[in-house]
Structure 1
Amino acid sequence: MATATHLAELQQQIRQRYHDLSKRLQQVAHYVLDNPNSIAFDTVAVIATHASVPPSTLIRFANAFDFSGFNEMKQLFRKNLVEETSSYTERAKLLKESQTDASLDTPSNILQQFSHANTVALQELTSAVSPEQLNTAVNLLENADTIYVVAMRRAFSIASYLTYALRHLERRVVLVDGFGCMASEQLSLVNEKDVVIGASFSPYSPETIELCERGAAAKAKQIVFTDSQVSPLAANSDVCFVIKEAEVESFRSQTATLCLAQSLAVSLAFRLSRQL
């Protein structure tokens, strides 16, 4: 295997070899794929702490992909940031501002922290989601016989909004909420003409994973909202939106995911209006 010379090439190699890596190296792979800015700017010690591995594991990970050391691999991430857009500088600056040691003991400080963190998440959303992904997702929603929306626990607000919005567009929508322990029955008629929208974030909902797998077995198309390229929802998806949400002291937001969900619904509304 040749050493990757571009970030996209390295990320593809990591995804392809993920299940062949040891558990420790999978842990690093997970962090590397989901935190490119951290890999570009943070020290090896900081990255190791955030990935919950010893620094030596980062070196072994880099060696596994034919780099002489972890710092050599870091150069791909830095090069990519420089080549893509200068706005990353402002994003990095804002991210540092949102990670100050300011006290969170007043509502005003908490609001400020979440506002900063959500600003970063929304800015990164626009670069993380491609036009091709958006167009494909809207096409699937437009052509689906029935749209099944599956999102439990923390992600339920996403399912609730999408069900509301899509029904206002006169789509046939089934909210698979498991009421009365009847989630299986709610999904029992899914078929290849339908679309399943699944949403789950770490720690992933076992119910959502199982239901999305049932949708895949029925050959339904799948649109997924999740937080990692190696999420258990990603494997069977036709469109996988990987969203890095804001987080303040372990409290995670849903602002970016809701923004993306609303963008899909409004895009579909404009698409349908042109047909009238």
Structure 2
Amino acid sequence: MTICENIKKKYIRLSKGQRKVAQFVMDNPNIVWTNTASEVGRLADVSESTVIRFCYSMDLAGFSELQVKLKEYLMEKGEASEVKQAVPVKKIRNHIGADIVKNDIANISKTFNQLKEQDVEEVVQLLHTAKKIHFLGFRQSTPVAFWMYSNVNRLRDRVHFIPHEADKIAQQVAYMDEDSLLFIISLDEEYEDMATIVEIAKRKNVKIVAIRNKELNSQDEPANLVLIVPNTKESGNTCTIAVFSLLHILVESMVDQNPQQYEQYTKNTKSALNTSNLIAIS
């Protein structure tokens, strides 16, 4: 089955944005296999993240594999506008880190194939509409949660990071209300450390999103939405690059909800920072 035949077969199951990508790919295979994902998104009038999600919906490891499939399709038809010199298989296999990169791509693909598109879209809506967002992650999840906090914080106001300090935790929990979103990242066994915070937040009608490496077994699910990033078979640890890929898509998709709003906020923030620096210098 060719890549275009596969797209037609799965077309009905795609989201509205992904259907735009699918149609563009089928209509313009030469353009897609010779351009970047961001450029294809611009031409198809969708975001880069939608292009990437389309690839995962096609059971591909990513945009690069889509380009390979399109190149093969065009060469079979004798329509490839440009043939790039193939890298010898032996060279790829001997390249430092090639196996690691291959495993990372496989884990990213596995993660996105298991996610429900509707769940991802609902998380994006909560990030976009919540009046206050609190990011929480302990132990190995702390740097991941802080990365997410830093990226969202530069795009909108009233974004908070909950540090692992009793007094700071108490302050932020007291500040939460029904307009708040508690965004939890729990990639190991540290969920028990967060249980009390989550329970208090739930009683205050705070909306809760959780990114975890597995479902909860012994307790009722407190989160409104859960996105699972499974452990890798090789190490038993969560695939960190898959987590960051997911978070990157959430941030980019949030921006897609109102690009002008987020662009203006970023400009205003930079302008205010420059003004404060000038005042400090003078």
Residue 106 of structure 2 corresponds to residue 145 of structure 1: no
CA–CA distance in 2 between the matches of 1:228 and 1:123?
A: 17
Matching residue's letter, 1:117: N
Q: Which residue number corresponds to residue 78 of structure 1?
A: none
1:187 to partner: Cα distance: 2.0
1:270 to partner: Cα distance: 1.7
Q: Which residue number corresponds to residue 275 of structure 2?
A: none
- Structure 1 residues 167-205: Cα deviation after superposition (integer angstroms, max 9, x where no partner): 111131110012465312222111111100011123234
State how 1:63-78 maps to structure 2 within 5 Å: none
The counterpart of 2:171, out of the listed 176, 179, 185, is: 185
Matching residue's letter, 2:146: S
1:225 to partner: Cα distance: 0.1
Q: TM-score, normalised by structure 1?
A: 0.55
1:228 to partner: Cα distance: 1.7
CA–CA distance in 2 between the matches of 1:186 and 1:202?
A: 23
State how 1:225-264 maps to structure 2 within 5 Å: 225-230=211-216, 235-246=221-232, 248-264=234-250
Whether the 8 Å contact between 1:151 and 1:199 is mirrored in structure 2 is: yes
Residue 211 of structure 2 corresponds to residue 222 of structure 1: no
Aligned residue pairs total: 175
Change (3 A) 1:126 1:148: same
Q: Which residue number corresponds to residue 146 of structure 2?
A: 160
1:247 to partner: Cα distance: 5.4
Q: Give the 3-state SS of the residue equivalent to 1:240 in structure 2.
A: strand
Q: Give the 3-state SS of the residue equivalent to 1:197 in structure 2.
A: strand
- Structure 1 residues 216-263: Cα deviation after superposition (integer angstroms, max 9, x where no partner): 111111111012222679711111001114354455431111111111
Identity rate of aligned residues, in percent? 12
The runs of 4+ residues in structure 1 deviating greater than 6 Å are none
Q: Which residue number corresponds to residue 257 of structure 2?
A: 271
Whether the 8 Å contact between 2:229 and 2:239 is mirrored in structure 1 is: no
Residue 81 of structure 2 corresponds to residue 118 of structure 1: no
1:133 to partner: Cα distance: 0.9
Q: Which residue number corresponds to residue 37 of structure 1?
A: none
CA RMSD of aligned residues (A): 3.0
1:154 to partner: Cα distance: 0.6
Matching residue's letter, 1:164: S
Which ranges in structure 1 are unaligned for 5 or more consecutive residues?
Answer: 1-84, 91-107
Whether the 8 Å contact between 1:213 and 1:236 is mirrored in structure 2 is: yes
Which ranges in structure 2 are unaligned for 5 or more consecutive residues?
Answer: 1-56, 62-93, 265-282
Q: TM-score, normalised by structure 2?
A: 0.54
1:206 to partner: Cα distance: 2.5
